[in-house]
C-alpha cells in the first residue's frame, strides 16, 4: 500500500465489491456513535451480509469478530450465531468445503483441518447433549469457515492477498471498536498500587483482548504498508493504544512483535545488537520516561509484580491467576479417566469463587477437549508452522498466531469467535 487512498481499497481481493463492504462498515460506524438503534442496525448489517458475494461476506465476517459481545438483539438472539450459519451456508453452496487439492500444501492443510473438525464436532455435539450449551456447536461452525481459507492455498500470492485482506479489515474494525468504547464509556477503572484507580482502554472486548487486536493492526502496517510515513503513523498510533490498555500481557507481546519484525528483515545480528542497546538506553533513562503519563501505570504494575515475585507471592503478581489455575488443574486431575482423555465437553466449570473459566485458555481447552484435544491442538500448530515456513507470508501469519498463542496463557478466550477462527487459519 503506497497511499492513503490504498487504505480504503479492497479491490485487490474483492474486485468491484467495495461498495457493499463499506456499506456494512458504515452501519458499524453509526452503531459506534449511537444508542437505542441496535436492533435495526444489526438487522441491516445482516441483510447486507446475506446478499453480498462470498468474498465480501467473508471480510464482513472477519470485521465482525470484534463485535461478538456487543451485538445481541434485544429479544436475545445473538448476531454471531446468525452470521456463522449464513457464512457456512454460503461456503457450502460455493463448493468451498470440497477436499480436492491443487498442491501438497493445500492437501496437507485439508487433512489436519478435517481431523480437527471431526474431533470438535464430536465434543461439540456431546456438549450440546450433556449441558445444553451451544458453545461446542459454535466451534463446529467456526472450524467449517476455516475451510474457506484453505481454498486460497492455491499459491503463495493468492493466500498472501487473503491474509493481507484479513489484517486490513481488522484494522478498520479495531478503530471503530475503539471509538465505540470511547463513545459508550466502556473503559474499566483498575486499581494500580501506588497510583490508585487508573482508566483502562476496553473497547468492545476487554483490555488484554483489545491489546491483541491493536498488535494485529500494528502488524498490518509493519508488513503490508509500503509508504513509510503511513507505516510509522500507523505503528505509532497502535503502539499508543496498546499501552493505554495497561495490560502487561499486551505490552510484553508488543515488544515481541517488534523484535520479530526486525528478525523478518533478515538482520538477526543487528536485531540483537539494537535490542541490547535499546535495553541499555531504556535502563539509563528510566527516571525520565517512567514518569510519562502513558507509561507510568505500566511501570507501577511491573514494579508491583516484580516485588511480589521477589517476595515469593507469584499469585499476587499474576492477579490471583496462579491459585485459580492450580484449583482448576486439581479438579481436572481428580476427574475420571474418560473426562481426562476426552474432556468434560463443558465450557463453564465452576471451581472457586463463582469463576467459570480459568483465565488461561489452555486450561479451558484441557477441560473441554481433554488430553486428546490438547495433543491435537499442539500437533495442529506444529504442522501449520512447518507448512508456512519460508512462505512470503510467514512472518505476519506467525505474528498473529503468536499473539494469540502466547496471550492465551493469561485470558480465557477459547469460545471467542475471533480466537477460534484466527488461530486455525
Parse the chain into domains and list their residue ranges. Answer: 1-96, 102-154+320-425
Question: What is the percent of the chain where pLDDT is above 90?
Answer: 39
Q: What distance in Å separates the CA atoms of residue 238 and residue 230, rounded to the nearest whole number?
A: 12
**Rg, C-alpha atoms of the chain:** 22
> In terms of pLDDT, which residue wins out, 219 or 102?
219
pLDDT for position 150 = 80
pLDDT higher than threshold 80 for residue 416? yes
- Phi, psi dihedral angles at 154 (to 5 degrees): -60, -45
The residue ranking higher by pLDDT, 293 or 26, is 26
Q: Which residue is listed with cell 465450557?
A: 347
The three-state (H, E, C) secondary structure of the chain, written as one string: CCCHHHHCCCHHHHCCCHHHHHHHHHHHHHHHHCCCCHHHHHHHHHHHHHHCCHHHHHHHHHHHHHHHHHCECCCCCEHHHHHHHHHHHHHHHCCCCCCCCCCHHHHHHHHHHHHHHHHHHHHHHHHHHHHCCCHHHHHHHHHHHHHHHHCCCCCHHHHHHHHHHHHHHHHHHHHHHHHHHHHCCCCEEEEECCCEEEEECCCCCCHHHHHHHHHHHHHHHHHHCCCHHHHHHHHHHHHHHHHHCCCHHHHHHHHHHHHHHHHHCCCHHHHHHHHHHHHHHHHHCHHHHCCCCCCHHHHHHHHHHHHHHHCCCHHHHCCCHHHHHHHHHHHHHCCCHHHHHHCCCCCCCCCCCCCCCCCCHHHHHHHHHHHHHHHHHHHHHHHHHHHHCCCCCHHHHHHHHHHHHHHCCCCCCCCCHHHHHHHCC
Give the pLDDT mean for 102-109. 71
Question: Comparing 58 with 300, which gets the higher pLDDT?
Answer: 58
pLDDT at residue 46 in the model: 96
Give the Cα separation of 108 and 106 in Å (integer).
Answer: 6
Q: Which of 141-145, 161-165, 195-199 has the highest mean pLDDT?
A: 161-165
Average pLDDT over residues 357-373: 87
Residues 349/329, Cβ–Cβ less than 8 Å? no
Cα-to-chain-centroid distance, residue 290: 29
For 331-364, the pLDDT digits (tens) are 888 888 988 998 887 766 666 666 666 788 999 8
pTM confidence score: 0.92
Neighbours of 359 (CB within 10 A): 19
Q: What is the mean pLDDT of residues 162-183?
A: 96
Q: What's the confidence (pLDDT) of residue 61? A: 96
- Provide mean pLDDT across the span 207-234: 95
pLDDT digits (tens, 9 = 90+) for 37-82: 999 999 999 999 999 999 999 999 999 999 999 988 998 888 988 9
Amino acid at each position: 500500500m503506497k497511499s492513503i487512498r490504498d487504505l480504503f481499497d479492497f479491490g485487490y481481493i474483492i474486485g468491484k465489491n467495495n461498495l457493499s463492504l463499506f456499506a456494512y462498515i458504515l452501519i458499524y460506524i453509526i452503531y459506534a456513535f449511537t444508542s437505542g438503534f441496535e436492533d435495526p442496525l444489526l438487522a441491516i448489517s445482516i441483510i447486507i451480509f446475506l446478499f453480498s458475494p462470498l468474498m465480501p461476506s467473508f471480510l464482513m465476517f472477519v470485521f465482525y469478530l470484534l463485535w461478538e459481545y456487543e451485538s445481541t438483539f434485544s429479544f436475545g438472539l445473538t448476531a454471531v450465531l446468525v452470521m456463522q450459519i449464513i457464512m457456512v451456508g454460503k461456503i457450502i453452496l460455493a463448493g468451498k468445503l470440497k477436499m480436492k487439492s491443487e498442491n501438497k500444501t493445500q492437501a496437507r492443510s485439508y487433512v489436519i483441518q478435517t481431523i480437527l473438525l471431526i474431533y470438535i464436532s464430536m465434543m461439540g455435539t456431546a456438549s450440546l447433549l450433556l449441558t445444553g450449551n451451544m458453545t461446542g456447536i459454535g466451534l463446529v461452525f467456526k472450524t467449517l469457515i476455516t475451510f474457506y481459507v484453505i481454498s486460497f492455498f492455491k499459491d503463495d500470492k493468492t493466500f498472501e492477498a487473503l491474509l493481507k485482506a484479513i489484517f486490513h479489515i481488522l484494522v478498520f474494525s479495531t478503530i471503530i471498536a475503539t471509538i465505540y468504547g470511547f463513545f459508550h464509556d466502556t473503559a474499566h477503572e483498575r486499581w494500580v498500587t501506588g497510583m490508585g484507580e487508573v482508566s483502562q482502554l476496553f473497547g468492545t472486548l476487554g483490555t488484554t483482548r483489545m491489546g491483541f487486536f491493536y498488535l494485529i493492526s500494528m502488524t498490518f502496517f509493519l508488513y503490508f504498508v509500503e509508504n513509510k510515513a503511513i507505516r510509522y503513523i500507523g505503528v505509532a498510533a497502535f503502539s499508543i493504544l496498546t499501552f493505554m490498555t495497561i495490560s502487561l500481557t499486551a505490552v510484553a507481546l508488543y515488544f515481541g512483535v517488534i523484535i520479530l519484525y526486525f528478525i523478518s528483515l533478515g538482520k538477526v545480528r543487528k536485531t540483537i545488537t539494537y535490542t541490547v542497546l535499546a535495553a541499555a538506553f531504556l535502563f539509563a533513562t528510566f527516571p525520565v520516561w517512567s514518569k510519562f503519563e502513558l507509561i507510568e501505570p505500566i511501570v507501577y504494575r511491573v514494579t508491583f509484580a516484580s516485588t511480589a515475585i521477589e517476595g515469593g507471592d507469584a499469585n499476587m503478581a499474576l492477579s490471583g491467576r496462579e491459585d485459580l489455575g492450580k484449583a482448576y488443574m486439581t479438579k481436572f486431575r481428580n476427574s475420571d479417566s474418560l473426562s481426562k482423555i476426552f474432556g468434560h465437553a463443558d465450557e463453564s466449570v465452576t471451581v472457586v469463587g463463582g469463576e467459570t473459566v480459568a483465565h488461561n485458555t489452555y486450561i479451558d481447552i484441557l477441560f473441554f477437549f481433554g488430553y486428546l484435544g490438547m495433543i491435537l491442538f499442539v500437533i495442529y500448530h506444529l504442522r501449520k508452522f512447518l507448512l508456512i515456513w519460508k512462505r512470503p507470508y510467514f512472518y505476519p501469519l506467525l505474528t498473529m498466531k503468536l499473539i494469540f498463542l502466547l496471550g492465551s496463557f493469561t485470558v480465557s478466550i477459547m469460545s471467542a469467535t475471533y480466537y477460534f477462527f484466527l488461530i486455525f487459519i
